[in-house]
Amino acid sequence: MVEKVIIFLLMDGARSDIIDKLLADGRLPNLAKILRNGTYSSITSTFPSTTGPAHIPFFLGKYPGDCNIPGIRWMERSEKTRTQSYTSVYSYLKGNGFNKDLENSSRTIYEEFISASVFEPINKGAAHKIFPYGHFCSHIFNTWMNFDRLGLGYTAYLLRKKKFQLIVTLFASIDELSHRNGCMHSKVLRAYELFDKELGKIQQLLNKLYEDSLIIITSDHGLTDTHAHINLLKILKLTGFRIRSYPINIRNGHDLFLAESGNSMAHIYFEKNKTDKNKENITRRLSGIKGIDLILTKDRDIHIYKGAQEAIIKQSEDKYMYEAIKGDPLGLKSCSGEWCSSNQWHGITSLSNYPDSIVQIAQIFRSNRSGDIIVTAENGYDLRTFEVPEHRASHGSLSREHISVPVIINKKFEITLRRTVDVHALMERYLEAV
């Protein structure tokens, strides 16, 4: 019988400022109860700030780029699988793609402890897995609140078994309802309240059945309302390149492949004619488009463009340098030319518009599946025109609003939490301690 358990509750797309507002209005009484003896901080997620890739740090203690998962869609460059890219008509997230890809990476936390996973797409090694079968129905019939109720029902069922040291549950309704309705819609706020209500039941069970428990409530990314869709596909076509894009992936001699993630970031790949001149042409064209934010490319160094501004990032072992070339795209000019560690850069960037940008941009380019060009949209815009139902909110970029996430824990810890990867270390420490 297990007497000590971690309950990891992932509120997909939950925003700190909305939690703050609802707490202040007294609408999240169970969360408020946890906070009386617990901690509440804002930490940084990862790039892309998208469901799936942004879950990797929690369960592997690594960035998505280091697990070769740079988004939810990409193009395989290897000769053998070159035509495959991302081909499912639904989503890589809902199949077993992540877990298969993670087979080559180090162990997940599920493999270290006796674990169960409820609706979470990353569940490699969990002793008990409940797949999100209701996800598709919820997508079609918009029954997301029922999906979350079901998830909490399963969580309670697993808790009663007293078999698992770690139970991970994903709640999808905040993210999904925000995409459909906008982030502050009453239906979205009701999803936060529903979560709180169900949390109360979990707390009661924990108090009754376990000697000790660690409750972690966090999120994978924020969301911002979208008022305009940039037709990136059309813009690239107008540059004269032949292009294919999800969901029409058939390979028939195109020049470019476009793969978006979270709607606010996209990888662009050259299938052929990858020359510096072509890369430059596309970069120049995109940097003049209203709503396009950052354009990232990599040769020996990483290049960052924002409108007419330009900077580079260099990496040497575990240190990074930012050098402003023209203007200051990331707003870090005061530290231009300095070599700093990843944690120092976290501190330096924490008040900028792009928290942890240096480390996050560097990590995504460590994946050989990353695009030749990576694009992000400004808040308020996204990069897709075709989406059913239409998206009214987006995420995926490096902006503060997308990459900052809340983490609420029912205990006080001495460990410093900067990023979602640190939550992995916290869980290990708690379960390893006698």
Calculate the alpha carbon distances from 306 to 183, 291, 363 in Å: 26, 11, 20
Q: Which is nearer to Zn ion, 120 or 175 (CB)?
A: 175
Chosen residue from 12, 120, 148, 198 binding Zn ion by CB under 5 A: 12
Instruction: Choose the binding region for Zn ion from 168-176, 252-260, 372-380, 416-424 (rule: CB under 5 A).
Output: 168-176
Q: Are 329 and 304 in contact (CB under 8 A)?
A: yes
Three-state secondary structure of 168-219: EEEECHHHHHHHHHCCCCHHHHHHHHHHHHHHHHHHHHHHHHCCEEEEEEEC
- Residue keyed to tokens 């080559």: 104
Considering the complex, state which of residue 224 and residue 249 has its C-beta at the smaller distance from Zn ion. Answer: 224
175 touches Zn ion (CB under 5 A): yes
SS3 for 101? helix
CB of 355 to Zn ion, least distance (A): 18
Nearest distance in Å: CB 265, Zn ion: 12
Looking at the Cβ atoms of 369 and 391, the one nearer to Zn ion is: 391
Of 5-13, 86-94, 368-376, 402-410, which part binds Zn ion (CB under 5 A)?
5-13
Nearest Cα neighbor of 363 from 415, 318, 428 is: 318
Rounded to a whole number of angstroms, the CA Rg of the chain reads: 21
What's the min distance (Å) between Cβ of 50 and Zn ion? 6
- Nearer to Zn ion among residue 166 and residue 170 (C-beta): 170
Rounded to the nearest whole angstrom, what is the least distance from the CB of residue 13 to Zn ion in the complex?
A: 5
Q: Which of 16, 46, 49, 51 binds Zn ion (CB under 5 A)?
A: 51
- Packing angle of the helix pair 134-141, 144-161 (nearest 10 deg): 160
Of 231, 309, 303, 310, the residue nearest 266 (C-alpha): 231
- We find the least distance from the C-beta atom of residue 302 to Zn ion, in angstroms, to be 25
Could you tell me how many residues of this chain bind Zn ion (CB under 5 A)? Answer: 4
CB of 174 to Zn ion, least distance (A): 9
Q: Which amino acid is at 138?
A: S
Range 218-237, binding Zn ion (CB under 5 A): 220
Alpha carbons 40 and 356: distance in angstroms, whole number: 19
220 versus 422: smaller Cβ distance to Zn ion: 220
Shortest spacing between CB 262 and Zn ion, in angstroms: 6
State whether the Cα torsion 383-388-394-398 is positive or negative: negative
Residue 148 in the binding site for Zn ion (CB under 5 A): no
Region from 4-12, 149-157, 285-293, 313-321 binding Zn ion, contact rule CB under 5 A: 4-12
Distance CA 147, CA 176 (A): 11
What residue is closest to Zn ion based on CB?
51
Are the CB atoms for 27 and 200 separated by under 8 Å?
A: no
Tell me if 372 contacts Zn ion by CB under 5 A. Answer: no
Query: Binding residues for Zn ion, per CB under 5 A?
Result: 12, 51, 175, 220
